[in-house]
Amino acid sequence: MGAVPSTPRHTSTTAETAEYLIGTFVGEKSFPLASDFWQKLLELPLTLRWSSYRVQQACELFAQNNHHTRHLAKILIHLSWCLQEAVRTSGAPSVVYLKAINAVYFSSVFLKYIIENSQSDNIEELCLSLLENEPVPKDFMTDQRIENLLMHNVLTFLGSIDVSPTTSLLHQELLNFMLVVMSTQLLSGPTPGPKDVNPFLDAAMSQESLLVSSVVRRLLLNYIMRPRLPSSTAASYSIFSEENQPGVLQRVGSAAANFVLLPFNYLVNSNSEGSRNQLADCSLHVLLVLIHYHKCVVSDESITDRSDDSASTDPVSKVNTYFTVNPYSKALENARDIEYGIGECVRILLAVDRADIEGNAQNGPVVRLPFASLFDTLGMCLADETAVLLLYSLVQGNSDFLEYVLVRTDLDTLLMPILETLYSASRRTSNQIYMLLIILLILSQDSSFNASIHKMILPGVPWYKEHLLHQTSLGSLMVIILIRTVQYNLSKLRDVYLHTTCLATLANMAPHVHRSSAYASQRLVSLFYMLSRKYNKLVELRDNKLQTKAISTGDGLVEDMSAELQIYTDFLRIVLEILNAILTYALPRNPEVVYAIMHRQEVFQPFKSHPRFAELLENIYNVLDFFNSRMDAQRMDGEWSVEKVLLFIINNCRSWRGEGMKMFTQLHFSYEQESHPEEFFIPYVWQLVLSRCGFSFNADAITLFPVGMHANKEIYYDEMNTNQSGELNEQRVQFDP
């Protein structure tokens, strides 16, 4: 069992050498760190291709022998040394990058196999240490942890070396490698615990703050600038120009995509959007995994057991768990605007200036980024769910970026793709819908945002098919889409928190509504009618003495009828408060809202005596009485047409003084992240990563989230809709009295 079973003999000496070296690498013989075997392996311009069956054999043999040979630990050390040399040597020669790429590629192949086929909770098969009697070079510190050495050098290269035609391939492979080493999270349960084993992620979290900040900055700049690999053929890379030999592993575009040794690939699908960029997308995937990682640790406290006063007071151990601070999340929170244009961003990308990461004694280093370019990039990419998650992470966690967004005069850059995505909710995951709604809720907490979106006029909305929207304000469109989302949720998702988020956003907007369009105004009244129909059905069930029987919703969840009735009572009250806020604070500016209420005034009649609604309906009927009485008193030649009624309302709005209107405290809803967001975000991030990067993984090994069984036991994960009890639904909307 010293090598992989041989294939038909190649006439090429290089091919025979490659067969021998790889066979030796996965075999029983252990080579010391200083052996010239490693140089031969890493400098090999391999042209060999293997079948998937032989790949599997090689991986199985490697995993079997690694406990004795420690070849995984050794190639990771050599990868670290290659990266150190690449960072240390300015304008490093091509052979340096060749060796680094080969090292990271071989490491990715076998590391991934061991992770997804691990039989132990501690992933002992990795063997991330050398044997005690292992001969090592004099300058090698035997007490250092290999994962710490490795991650320090990987992150140093990513954070300090420019992305250029020469280095872009190594950048890409290192990002792929990062996803492989962080995939240990897939083996953990959905709730992080102290027994979870993520050695490489933990090593990444232990790096110094300046390095962490430089990595976060680089990943975001990659996402903004979207650098492309120079060519789709390996021969075009300067690092492979020696003797016209294609590089190790027959690369085409990306090393990790093209040698059959690797049981997964990173090729972008042919049907991907034009804005997709491999290096940018992979940078975002790595960033999302890093910023949402939470390490759970145990803290032991000695306490005194006083349950029995007569007993001796012996100390007992009380175990507490807590989450350590995530430095990457902190760095993202500390990002600040560099106030440079796109040209300056190019300069920054090509020449990293350490001064762009400024020290802050209290909050750590400040990462300077071009917010304008980041804003525009997000607006271009929001059709992709990973971009939505990045935008959420920024507006929820970074107050400076949120303020920057709120003062932009072109809010349609972000809002239009968000609203278009919500418009096509039936083709989106429930998680994506909810994340977008949370973003809108966060934005709506600012009164200047609510005012400005009603002043921005859209000449048309071509993707909205149900009604011609011409010269509609961005605010009116947002009202229309939010109500449409409620309607969709009523018929499909039946998610209470989705309703709550939509209505909370509408309530925040209500006092600032300005010249609401006719269609938006009609939809507001229709919203009350839609919810009232659901309410009336529940009342009918109660009146039929079914209040003690549980009702089953379409997606299999069971809710108590009386609790559901209370929920819809609250929803109806919020809608009435929304209408009240418009009529109380903005009636003269919204004649179309008055018209819509007058046109459908019968929908309010059944609720006039309802104890929860009576005081709110008094205001609505006060408005109706004002306009109805004046309409009755005015003589008309012929019938009242729509145009005549609207003109009448506009004229009488000028004499409206709000007499007799009760003033209610303005509703203000704010978003507050649930106390344990990691239980939702960690599985969610990995679902997105697996569905987009082409990273296949043994489905049997995944315990982070439930997956369907596949015949080949490998998946390119398809996004799942979180059901009604999913963790996302536990993100709370907080009410400020």
- Rounded Cα distance between 476 and 472, Å, is 6
DSSP code of residue 732: E
Structure tokens given for 272: 């991907």
pLDDT bucket at 560, cuts 50 / 70 / 90 = low
User: Containing H/E element for 199?
Assistant: helix 199-205
Mean pLDDT of 356-382: 81
Distances in Å between the alpha carbon of 329 and those of 241, 355, 434?
A: 41, 21, 21
pLDDT band at 356 (very low <50, low <70, confident <90, very high): low
Looking at residue 358, what is its pLDDT?
56
Report the pLDDT averaged over residues 623-638. 85
Residue 459 tokens, joined: 């000449």
> Can you tell me the mean pLDDT for 629-649?
85
pLDDT of 426 over the 60 cut: yes
Q: How far apart are CA 482 and CA 469, in angstroms?
A: 15
Residues 186, 114 contacting (CB under 8 angstroms): no
| Residue 224 C-alpha from the chain's centroid | 16
Token code pair at residue 395:
């507006």
Q: Poorest-confidence range of 6-10, 352-356, 527-531?
A: 6-10
pLDDT band at 363 (very low <50, low <70, confident <90, very high): low
Largest CA distance in the chain: 107
What are the extents of the domains in the chain? 531-665
Read off the tokens for 558. Answer: 């069971």
Instruction: Say if residues 597 and 525 touch (Cβ distance below 8 Å).
Output: yes
Q: How confident is the model at residue 316 (pLDDT cuts 50, 70, 90)?
A: very low
Residue 712 has pLDDT above 50, yes or no: no
250 confidence band (pLDDT: 50, 70, 90): very low
pTM value > 0.95: no
Q: Which residue has the higher pLDDT, 425 or 549?
A: 425
**pLDDT at 253 exceeding the cut of 60:** no
Query: How many of the other CB atoms lie within 10 Å of CB of 188?
Result: 20
* pLDDT at residue 2 is higher than 90: no
**With 90 as the cut, is the pLDDT of residue 467 above it?**
yes
572-591 pLDDT tens trace:
999 999 999 999 999 999 99
How does residue 597 score in pLDDT terms, banded at 50, 70 and 90? Answer: very high
Residue range 252-274: average pLDDT?
32
Query: What is the reported pLDDT for 357?
Result: 58
At residue 733, does pLDDT exceed 50?
Answer: no
Mean pLDDT, residues 399-423: 96
Integer Cα distance of 652 and 630 in angstroms: 8
pLDDT (average), residues 231-235:
41
Average pLDDT, the chain: 82
Long-range contacts of 719-722 (CB under 8 A, 24+ apart): 719/385, 719/429, 719/431, 719/687, 719/688, 719/691, 720/429, 720/687, 721/429, 721/430, 721/431, 722/429, 722/430, 722/431
What residue ranges in 78-177 does DSSP mark as E strands?
Answer: none
Q: Rounded to an integer, what distance in angstroms lies between the CA atom of residue 41 and that of residue 86? A: 18
The pLDDT-based confidence of 17 (bands split at 50, 70, 90) is: confident
